[in-house]
């Protein structure tokens, strides 16, 4: 060995080499037979347990699946010397964690051991001990940790105050990079107009995600602006549609595919609706009209041909089948003649739940704008008044780049004559392809707004400077400095097990040392978020926030890019900044840009395997 070790470290190395050989004999075909090792004292005996990709038992050492084995919780939740008590569903496992090691392999051979003393590496045939700190969280200063900050507390600059104080009745389009204060300025303008006009002014905010709805409501309350309606678009449209159109079902579908959603939000749908309005000119718009639209193969094939969004034959087949199910009878309706008690399920759920027919008798949230547009076309032909949503004197649309054209047109109808419209957004954060965003001029035209003032905010109030620079680099806006600055940490891992150990340790420190901080682990997709949550819940208290149920103060949220839009957190951790998850495409760049720009104090990027090309460049 090139540098001296005490006997304990040498024993640890020899021990891990022996265990690696045993692991190889149990999993001879695995590229990496194990990721970690635990030595456990269980009563009168000591047992070696390896964490690996699969479970194998029966030999001198056991390998357990690091993702699912109950005993794996010991590795992620205990330090050396800790006692443990684990319920595996059949019995309670108790003991003491004597020794804990992470191990790494190269070309099938053990080459790295991470333990309490540091990191042991095999270099040129000799083992070396590295004791430097692993990159990780840099906690906020003590003063910042004593209180919780809020975007509502930002002091507006002169340009922002000018926008807030514009006369009532003016339409404003607020643009700017992520973290430049669009939401804050929009809410301050709404609060200012409401203060000047009194409680008689009906004001509303409509946003595309539940997390942003909750944040907006909390910010308004902090600003003292009470009585403002804050809506998730889907819920607002549902309420207005059920008020305007008779006998709409209460249930919404749970199984609409992305292809179905793309078709129902496509701008080319307008020509299909115009055709239906001419063919079926009756003045009464009903739910059954949706069957004549989305259940008509000829109309759907014509829409696919006219679309610029690449709608294929598979999507046409999906929407025809989906519509067929929606207009089928539910099991309760089909068996209405049977005694009601015999139709009750054990869990109290509808009989169709979990079956191919679970969407029978439902609507899609995208249908509401379709019904309003069809009714408008019919009313126009008949020279009559179309169904309208209830009007607002002041209306705010935030993250407006995520609304589809028909949705924008519907919301535009909700602005009272002479009312004040406030639209906020960022084209670079447009991540939902089904929105068919084509630019701000088109969006404002859909809203029926011919005259408006555009204000581009120029100053960042959220992200540290190096995070802002990295975000611009992600969007390929010039040759900005790299490697990252003091607020950005990048760490690469050989396996998800190694990454989960690092995340658990770092977030445990955060929960202990900065408990008031907000943190988000932002994954590209909801599926990835669920997987990370399962990995980390064994050693941490955290929240899976895929329905907008965020902890904005004193909590760790596991979420996805789409869910995190419009929000901010003190600490942001991106665990999947890899080539496979974030390809160097426009969609990949925008998604990574959104994730990165949620950070107000520190950003941690990590990857299992190769980094995304967006960062490699």
**Cβ neighbours of residue 579 closer than 8 Å, sequence gap 6 or more:** 609, 610, 611, 612, 613
Is 358 strand, coil or helix? coil
pLDDT digits (tens, 9 = 90+) for 79-89: 999 999 998 87
Tell me what the mean pLDDT of segment 589-611 comes to: 96
In the predicted model, what is the mean pLDDT of residues 467-481? 78
Which range is least confidently modeled, 232-241, 322-331, 585-594? 322-331
Q: Which residues contact 483 (CB under 8 A, 6 or more apart)?
A: 490
The helix (H) or strand (E) run that includes residue 561 is helix 561-564
- Predicted TM-score (pTM) of the model is 0.89
Return the pLDDT at 523.
98
pLDDT, average across residues 449-471: 92
The least confident of 498-507, 526-535, 608-617 is: 608-617
Angle at 349 between CA 343 and CA 354, to 5 degrees: 105
What angle do helix axes 182-197 and 210-223 make, rounded to 10 degrees?
Answer: 50
**Beta bridge pairs of residue 104:** 112
Question: Are the CB atoms for 394 and 194 separated by under 8 Å?
Answer: yes
Tell me the three-class secondary structure of 255-311, residue by residue: CCCHHHHHHHCCCCHHHHHHHHHHHCCCCCCCCHHHHHHHCCHHHHHHHHHHCCCCC
Q: How crowded is the C-beta side of 52, counted as CA atoms within 13 Å?
A: 26
How many degrees, rounded to 5, is the angle at CA 68 between CA 64 and CA 70? 75
Using CB atoms within 10 Å of the CB of residue 383, give its burial: 0 to 12 exposed, 13 to 18 middle, 19+ buried.
exposed
Supply the pLDDT for residue 2: 39
CA dist 15 and 61 (Å) reads 12
State mean pLDDT over 248-255.
92
What are the backbone dihedrals phi and psi of residue 464, each rounded to the nearest 5 degrees, phi first? -60, 155
Look at residue 534 in the predicted model and tell me its pLDDT.
95
Joined tokens for residue 108 = 């099938």
Q: Which three-class secondary structure state does DSSP give residue 521?
A: strand
Summarize the confidence of residues 97-109 as an average pLDDT.
Answer: 95
Q: What is the mean pLDDT of residues 194-219?
A: 92
Burial 203-219 (b: 16+ CB within 10 A, else e): bbbbbbbbbbbbbbbbb
Cα gap 389→372, rounded to integer Å:
9
**Highest-scoring range by mean pLDDT, 1-5, 330-334, 404-408:** 404-408
Residue 317 Cα to chain centre, angstroms:
29
Of the segments 155-164, 227-236, 330-339, which one has the largest average pLDDT value? 227-236
For the stretch 529-546, pLDDT in tens is 999 999 999 889 999 999
CATH, domain range 158-235+392-426+437-456: 3.40.50.300
Q: Which of 501, 494, 503, 487 is nearest to 558 (CA)?
A: 503
Average pLDDT over residues 135-152: 83
Q: Where are the domain boundaries for CATH 3.40.50.300 in the chain? A: 158-235+392-426+437-456, 465-616
What is the mean predicted confidence (pLDDT) over 478-504? 85
Q: Which CATH number fits domain 465-616: 3.30.420.40, 3.30.365.10, 2.30.42.10, 3.40.50.300?
A: 3.40.50.300
Q: Tens digits of per-residue pLDDT, 321-340?
A: 999 999 998 766 565 555 55
Q: 91: Cβ–Cβ under 8 A, 6 or more apart, which residues?
A: none
Average pLDDT over residues 488-506: 96
Residue 167, number of CB atoms within 10 A of its CB: 8
With contact defined as beta carbons under 8 Å apart, do 154 and 183 qualify? Answer: no
**Residues sharing a CB contact under 8 Å with residue 35, sequence separation 6 or more, in sequence order:** 51, 52, 53, 66, 102, 103, 495, 497, 498
**454 preceded by cis ω (within 30°)?**
no
Residue 147 has pLDDT above 80, yes or no: no
Q: Which of 98-102, 393-397, 466-470 has the least mean pLDDT?
A: 466-470
Nearest Cα neighbor of 372 from 338, 408, 403 is: 408
- Contact by Cβ (8 Å): 218, 183: no
What whole-number percentage of the chain has pLDDT above 70?
Answer: 93
Give the whole-angstrom CA distance, residue 323 versus residue 208: 24
Mean pLDDT across 121-147: 89
Q: What is the SS3 assignment for 570? A: strand
Asked whether residue 132 carries a pLDDT value surpassing 90, the answer given is: no
Q: For all residues of the chain together, what is the average pLDDT? A: 91
Q: Is the pLDDT of residue 351 over 70?
A: no
Residues 6+ apart with CB under 8 A from 375: 244, 245, 285, 386, 387
| pLDDT tens readout for residues 283-309 | 789 999 999 999 999 999 999 999 999
**343: confidence class by pLDDT, cuts 50, 70, 90:** very low
- d(CA 428, CA 433) in angstroms, rounded, equals 13
pLDDT value of residue 484: 72
Question: What residue has token string 């680099």?
Answer: 473
pLDDT for res 330: 78
Tokens 């949230």 belong to which residue? 365
3-state secondary structure of 410: helix
Residue 87's H or E segment, with its range, is: strand 83-87
Q: Is 356 exposed, middle or buried (0-12, 13-18, 19+ CB in 10 A)?
A: exposed
What is the average pLDDT across 333-362? 63
Which tokens belong to 9? Answer: 């470290």
Q: How far apart are CA 542 and CA 111, in angstroms?
A: 33
Return d(Cα 295, Cα 301) in angstroms, integer. Answer: 11
* Cα-to-chain-centroid distance, residue 183: 19
The CA distance from 311 to 436, in Å, is 12
**What are the angstrom distances between the C-alpha of 254 and each of 47, 328, 365, 433?**
47, 15, 10, 20
**Is the pLDDT assigned to residue 582 strictly greater than 60?**
yes
What is the three-class DSSP state of 423? strand
């Amino acid at each position: 060995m090139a540098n001296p070790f005490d006997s304990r470290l040498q024993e640890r190395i020899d021990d891990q080499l022996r265990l690696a050989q045993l692991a190889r004999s149990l999993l001879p075909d695995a590229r990496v037979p194990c990721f970690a090792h635990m030595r456990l004292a269980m009563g009168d005996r000591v047992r070696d347990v390896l964490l690996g990709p699969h479970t194998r038992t029966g030999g001198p050492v056991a390998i357990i699946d690091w993702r699912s084995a109950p005993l794996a919780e010991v590795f992620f939740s205990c330090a050396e010397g800790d006692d443990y008590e684990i319920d595996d569903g059949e019995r309670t496992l108790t003991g003491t964690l004597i020794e804990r090691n992470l191990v790494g392999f190269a070309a099938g051979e053990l080459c790295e051991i991470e333990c309490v003393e540091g990191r042991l590496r095999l270099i040129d045939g000799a083992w070396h001990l590295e004791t430097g700190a692993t990159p990780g969280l840099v906690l906020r200063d003590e003063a910042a940790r004593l209180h919780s900050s809020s975007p509502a507390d930002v002091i507006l600059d002169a340009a922002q105050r000018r926008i807030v104080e514009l006369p009532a009745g003016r339409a404003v389009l607020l643009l700017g990079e992520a973290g430049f204060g669009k939401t804050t300025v929009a809410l301050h303008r709404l609060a200012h107009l409401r203060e000047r006009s009194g409680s008689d002014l009906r004001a509303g905010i409509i946003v595309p995600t539940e997390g942003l709805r909750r944040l907006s409501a909390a910010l308004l309350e902090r600003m003292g602006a009470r009585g403002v309606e804050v809506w998730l678009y889907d819920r607002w449209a549902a309420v207005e549609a059920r008020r305007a159109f008779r006998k709409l079902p209460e249930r919404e579908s749970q199984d609409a595919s992305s292809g179905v959603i793309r078709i129902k939000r496509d701008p080319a749908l307008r020509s299909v609706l115009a055709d239906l309005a001419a063919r079926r000119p009756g003045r009464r718009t009903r739910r059954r009209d949706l069957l004549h639209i989305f259940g008509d193969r000829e109309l759907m094939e014509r829409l696919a041909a006219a679309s610029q969004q690449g709608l294929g034959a598979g999507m046409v087949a999906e929407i025809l089948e989906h519509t067929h199910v929606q207009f089928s009878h539910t099991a309760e309706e089909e068996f209405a003649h049977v005694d009601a008690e015999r139709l009750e399920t054990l869990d109290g759920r509808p009989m169709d739940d979990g079956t191919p027919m679970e969407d029978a008798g439902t609507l899609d949230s995208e249908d509401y704008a379709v019904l309003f547009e069809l009714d408008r076309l019919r009313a126009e032909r008949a020279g009559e008044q179309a169904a309208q949503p209830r009007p607002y004197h002041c209306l705010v649309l935030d993250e407006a780049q995520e609304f589809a054209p028909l949705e924008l047109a519907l919301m535009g109808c909700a602005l009272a004559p002479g009312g004040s419209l406030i639209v906020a957004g960022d084209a670079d954060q447009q991540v939902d392809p089904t929105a068919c965003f084509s630019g701000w001029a088109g969006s404002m035209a859909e809203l029926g707004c011919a005259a408006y003032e555009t204000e581009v905010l120029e100053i960042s109030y959220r992200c540290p400077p190096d995070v802002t620079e990295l975000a611009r680099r992600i969007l390929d806006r010039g040759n900005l400095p790299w490697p990252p600055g003091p607020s950005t940490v990048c760490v690469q891992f050989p396996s998800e097990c190694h990454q989960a150990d690092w995340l658990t340790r770092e977030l445990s420190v955060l929960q202990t040392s900065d408990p008031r901080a907000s943190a988000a682990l932002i994954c590209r997709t909801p599926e990835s978020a669920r997987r990370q949550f399962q990995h980390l819940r064994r050693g941490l208290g955290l929240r899976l926030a895929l329905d907008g149920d965020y902890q904005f103060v004193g909590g760790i949220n596991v979420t996805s890019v789409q869910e995190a839009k419009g929000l901010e957190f003190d600490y942001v951790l991106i665990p999947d900044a890899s080539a496979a998850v974030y390809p160097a495409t426009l969609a990949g760049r925008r998604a990574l840009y959104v994730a990165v720009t949620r950070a107000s104090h520190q950003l941690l990027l990590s990857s299992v395997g190769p980094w995304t090309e967006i960062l490699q460049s």
